[in-house]
Chains A and B, each alone.
Chain A
Amino acid sequence: MDNRSLRRKSLSIPELIAQNWPRLLSGLGMTVEITIISLVFAAIIGLVFGLLSVAPQKALRAIALVYVDIVRGTPLLVQAFFIYFGIPMALGIRLDQNLAGVITLSLNAGAYLAEIFRGGIESINSGQMEAARSLGLTYGLSMRKVILPQAIRTMTPALINQCIITLKDTSLLSVIGVVELTQTGKLIIANNYESFKMWLIVGVMYFIVIMILSKISKQIERKMSYGKNKN
């Protein structure tokens, strides 16, 4: 009797927020945590495969191409299912859903970052590499000191964009049971049936975090610009 009347009573948005704030915050925390950890691994994967994809050796380029094609050619959801359900079943192991989520997002974002790195590196005039090599620098040193610092500057907008995409992609991990913000929203709605207001709240929370990220990125972009080359 008491329960039913409680459910029927529609709560206002501020009330819903107040009531569910700790859970929402912990969901958001998980979203941010998974995003950051995945992006760190993705950055390493992306750099390695990005460098492979511009390597002078054909075999190395082929490896990068295959990886990028596989990731780009399959949906993230299928990748998550494959890593969380498929691989553990084949190997007879259990995989923690958060770990599976991080692996999925790292591999996924890694492929896209590899493409961003490739594009960034290829956008740098070949004269830069030639100038560095003509001074006696090795290929690796030329990359590190001359090409990558410039490439990363031109890549910044695309990198930030990929961060935002990865942050949003964490919501898909709700299907393998990762209790991030979207899953938290689902669980709360399962209790209070406030679908409209809760999804609005969850949406606004994503929006605010992403807006903050965009603003920071604009700042970084501005700071990183240097005297533009006249030629």
Chain B
Amino acid sequence: MGKIKIKNLKKTFGELEVLKDINLEIKEKEVVCIIGPSGSGKSTLLRCINALEEATSGTVEVDGNDITGAHEKINLFRQNIGMVFQQFNLFPHMTVLDNICLAPTALKIKSKDEANAIAMGLLKRVGLQEKAEVYPGQLSGGQQQRVAIARALAMNPDVMLFDEPTSALDPEMVGEVLNVMKQLANEGMTMVVVTHEMGFAREVADRVIFIDEGYIVEQGPPQEIFANPQNQRTINFLNMVL
């Protein structure tokens, strides 16, 4: 049963056609890594899955819910789809704990105490429980991104979207974030990851999707895509990044 179903998805920004015709089905508990050159549309595709970008045409379904035509119901659907951004986007005016508790408490899903308990549990999972009362500005990039993951998990989502989660990090901090993501994948989270970390894709992904110029050019298990790419554009891209 497809957890995420994308049919004939097109997205244009003015004259620019970013996504031309995307068809994609992602199964429950599947970890999909999306790779491709910059400007290929991979981030836009990810952002269409939780309607941060509105699709120009086509449909996106998550858990049978139509994301593209959801209107005000989108807020409900998004609670089930966590997202982690390249720039972390933590709320700088709130402590780490408040960052994580904001959505569950503001949406009146959890009481303050319940949310705090959940947040502390999540911070423990990402190894930052001693940072609960600290402001994001006092954390390193890697720590901020781990908090951002904890914040997304606080809504107990079924699907997690990662938009180049390690691209803004200093190299020595990439590992700590990828480790948290690996752990999440091992626990059975359905994950869609836009990434330049080919090592991560190779090790963790069930499927790797190569996107170029708005189309899915090639997809398959990482060992196939990396060892034996079929399309010339995939070959060129991999030659440049590997």
A residues lining the B interface (CB < 8 Å): 125, 127-128, 130-138, 141, 145-146, 149-150, 153, 226-231
Contacts and interface: CB of A to CB of B under 8 A. Distances in A.
A231 B102 contact: no
B87 A135 contact: no
Interface in B67-126: 72, 75-79, 81-83, 85, 87-93, 102-103, 106-107
B89 A136 contact: no
Contacts of A131: 83, 85, 89-91, 148
Contact of B137 (A128, A130, A137, A230): A230
Contacts of B81: 134
B152 interface: yes
A137 B52 contact: no
B78 A227 contact: no
> Shortest 10 CB-CB distances between A and B: which pairs?
A136-B79, A227-B137, A227-B135, A131-B89, A135-B103, A127-B89, A134-B83, A136-B78, A229-B137, A229-B92
Given A226-B135, A226-B137, A229-B136, A137 B106 contact: yes
Interface of B: 50, 52, 72, 75-79, 81-83, 85, 87-93, 102-103, 106-107, 134-141, 144, 148, 151-152, 155, 168
Contacts of A137: 75, 102-103, 106-107
B106 A231 contact: no
Nearest to A129: B89
B152 A133 contact: no
A226 B93 CA distance: 7
Q: Which of B72, B79, B102, B144 has the most CB of A within 10 A?
A: B102
A135 B135 contact: no
A172 B79 CA distance: 53
Given A127-B89, A128-B91, A133-B78, 5 more contacts: A131-B89, A133-B75, A135-B155, A137-B75, A137-B106
A130 B47 CA distance: 10
B89 A135 contact: no
A231 B85 contact: no
